[in-house]
Structure 1
Amino acid sequence: MKLTDKIAVVTGVGPGLGQGIAVALARAGADLVICDIDPEALAAAREAVLAEGRRCLSVVCDVSSSQQVAGMFAQARETFGTVHVLVNNAALTPNRPVDTERRNRLYAYLQTPVPRDSLGFTSEITDEEWLRYWGVNVHGTFYCTREALRLMQPQRYGRIVNIASIAGISSRSAHSPHYSATKGAVVAFTRSVALEVAGANIYVNAMAPGGVATPAFNEYLEKIGEDGRNRLWQSCPAGRFGTVEEYAATVLHLASDEHYLVGQVISPNGGSAI
């Protein structure tokens, strides 16, 4: 097992990618510290980890709060003594009705021969909306990384995997410039910290996934019908989105000792961005 005797922290373990990553790490032998702001989602992820026969500390934590993050890592240290792996997965994603409307407007614009004009996305974003995304996606990644490094640096070992997005390395998510900006910041942060700490045997990398075939997204595919699905797949050479298990396997590799990757951004995306 790749992660036997390792302690891994995974943030944002709600249904989908977060829970899938936690289960994959547990299956590889790690004991888990998991967090989410949703107690029900957190409880479900905890049960999934325990079902793999691993220990699990679950903490309700809003990663946009440095105090709550510090408290979570204090509990991790008290329970397990240290942390070897951190997966910064917690993030706000554009999944409200207004985001769906923007996404559909973008896809129609890209896939239909209509007159060119501004789509008006950025001018519609409020201060509150912009700052909420930065609070979770960027500040949360920083707060968790800072606390993890305080444990990893003295032991001269660690693996940090930041979950970025194809939105941060391409224009695939032009419908959500606030989300794209934060994921681009995660990419830049990954590279900077990676150079800083690699000499202490702490490897920092990022995964920038394309579309994830979560239950929620599969519901969206049903709603848009066959014509809508066919239009969507025009932008993805693989003709499908990646499964949670496929993405979790990439994270597992980056969390292990079986690579020589430092400051890299791995983007499983089915060819959507090459």
Structure 2
Amino acid sequence: MNPVRPLAGRVALVTGAGPGLGRALARSLAEAGANLVVCDINEAGLTAARATVEEAGAECLTVRCDISDSAAVQRMFAQAAERFGTVHILVNNAALTPNRPSDDVRRRRHYTHLTTPVPRQSLEFTRNITDDEWHRWWGVNVHGVFYCTREALKLMEPQKYGRIINIASLSGMSGLSAHSPHYSATKGAVIAFTKAVAAEVAGSNIYVNVMAPGGVHTQDFDAILQTMGEEGRNRFWQLVPAGRLGTPEEYAATVVHLAGEHYLAGQVISPNGGMLI
């Protein structure tokens, strides 16, 4: 194994590879030697991801795919197999995240509740989630992970080799994202699903694990912090012992390790700056 390019000869498929963390994951896997299949629903994001991967010296196939559509996922894996012959590494990164204005309102209320001496009361989040909203989040964040995992295993099980890394969240392990119970529920489901599949397939040299990040320093999170004002940001940092968010590159280093040779199966690795210890 080449220590500089430990993934040389491997093919990695990354979902949600257009923006932020997903693009950093694709770039780091390419720098480690893998060829890439990158998936997103945004054409502009796919174009940028492809440029990033090719700059790292890897081949890249871009596929516009809504992972909540099982038929579209099947087509994507067929394209990957046609182009590269197989898939060795799957990174299930695509997900809906709470970044709309209404999410920001709930988030600010929750962080104030956590960091300010105010009377305890219900924050009344769950009772206002609609059926459509609940199902939409599960469609992408859970069903999509299942659809991609199922198709990946059809390639990995016959070759008796595979690495699947599911990107969950600190939200699936704690109450720190109580402002978005639908998001927390889906990420907790991803963790439970990972453990079950890991126990099923480890005997075929297919290792399935979770990375559950804390806050990721992206443009979207920067925008959220700006809406809080200085006092709100100062309160937020009381929740993060490291005093900063993790960079996409720091999280990507963990994924590259999980994509390589190791003895980890069904583990939840949570780089989070001490938010949950």
Q: TM-score, normalised by structure 1?
A: 0.98
Partner of 1:147: 151
Partner of 1:20: 24
Partner of 2:201: 197
Q: Which moved more, 1:114-123 or 1:60-69?
A: 114-123
Partner of 2:275: 272
Match of 2:263, SS state, is coil
Q: How many residue pairs get matched?
A: 273
Task: State the distance in 1 between where 2:223 and 2:101 align.
Answer: 14
Q: CA deviation at 1:221?
A: 2.3
Structure 1 gap segments, 5+ residues each: none
Q: CA deviation at 1:41?
A: 0.6
Q: CA deviation at 1:111?
A: 1.4
Q: Which runs of 4+ in 1 moved over 3 A?
A: none
Matching of residue 9 in structure 1 with residue 13 in structure 2 = yes
Structure 2 gap segments, 5+ residues each: none
Q: Give the one of 40, 49, 54 matched to 1:50.
A: 54
Q: CA deviation at 1:116?
A: 1.5
Amino acid at match of 2:142: V
Q: CA RMSD in A?
A: 0.8
Partner of 2:122: 118
Matching of residue 184 in structure 1 with residue 177 in structure 2 = no
Paired-residue identity, %: 67
Taking the TM superposition and a 5 Å limit, the aligned residue runs for 1:217-236 are: 217-236=221-240
Match of 1:167, SS state, is helix
Q: CA deviation at 1:51?
A: 0.9
Partner of 1:262: 265
Amino acid at match of 2:274: G
Q: Give the one of 67, 70, 95 matched to 2:71.
A: 67
| 8 Å CA contact retained: 2:104, 2:224 | no
Any idea what the Cα deviations from partners look like across 1:193-229, whole Å, max 9, x if unmatched?
A: 0000000000000000000000121233233233222
Amino acid at match of 1:260: Y
Task: State the distance in 1 between where 2:100 and 2:224 align.
Answer: 12
Partner of 2:100: 96
Amino acid at match of 2:257: H
Matching of residue 40 in structure 1 with residue 44 in structure 2 = yes
Partner of 1:164: 168
Task: State the distance in 2 between where 1:5 and 1:55 align.
Answer: 11
Match of 1:18, SS state, is helix
Matching of residue 106 in structure 1 with residue 110 in structure 2 = yes
Partner of 2:140: 136
Q: Which moved more, 1:33-42 or 1:216-225?
A: 216-225
Task: State the distance in 2 between where 1:76 and 1:113 align.
Answer: 53
Q: Which moved more, 1:197-206 or 1:209-218?
A: 209-218
